[in-house]
Amino acid sequence: NAGVTQTPKFQVLKTGQSMTLQCAQDMNHEYMSWYRQDPGLGLRLIHYSVGAGITDQGEVPNGYNVSRSTTEDFPLRLLSAAPSQTSVYFCASSLTGAPYNEQFFGPGTRLTVL
């Protein structure tokens, strides 16, 4: 098992550009989510999905879109990048039922918006 994979590892964008952060998991997990991690603010939930075709907003969804067409993939789209979106982005996945619902995190994408 590769676990949770994310690409790219690093990305620099100019203000106004769009891009997609990729996330994939090979553990057949129903639940997938995106977090951003900022100094002093910790990890904050952007969007999540409880299964293919089902997505919902987290704590900080503005400026981001997601879709879930397959169980394995959960891409995060930045529509028009802003400097405030400079952050480290983590994708995570889990089963949905306790006691096996611990979330497994990917290695992260470090994004800088100039």
Name the nearest CA neighbour of 84 among 15, 29, 9, 11: 15
**55 forms part of the interface with other proteins (CB under 8 A):** no
Q: How far is it, in rounded angstroms, from Cα 20 to Cα 105?
A: 18
Among residues 28, 70, 101, 112, the one that binds other proteins under rule CB under 8 A: 101
**52 forms part of the interface with other proteins (CB under 8 A):** no
How far, in whole angstroms, is CA 4 from its chain's centroid?
11
Contact 15, 26 (CB under 8 A): no
- Residue 70 DSSP SS3: coil
**5 forms part of the interface with other proteins (CB under 8 A):** no
Q: How many residues bind other proteins (CB under 8 A)?
A: 26
**64 forms part of the interface with other proteins (CB under 8 A):** no
Binding site for other proteins (CB under 8 A): 4, 31, 33, 40-45, 48, 50, 58, 90, 92, 94, 96, 98-99, 101-108
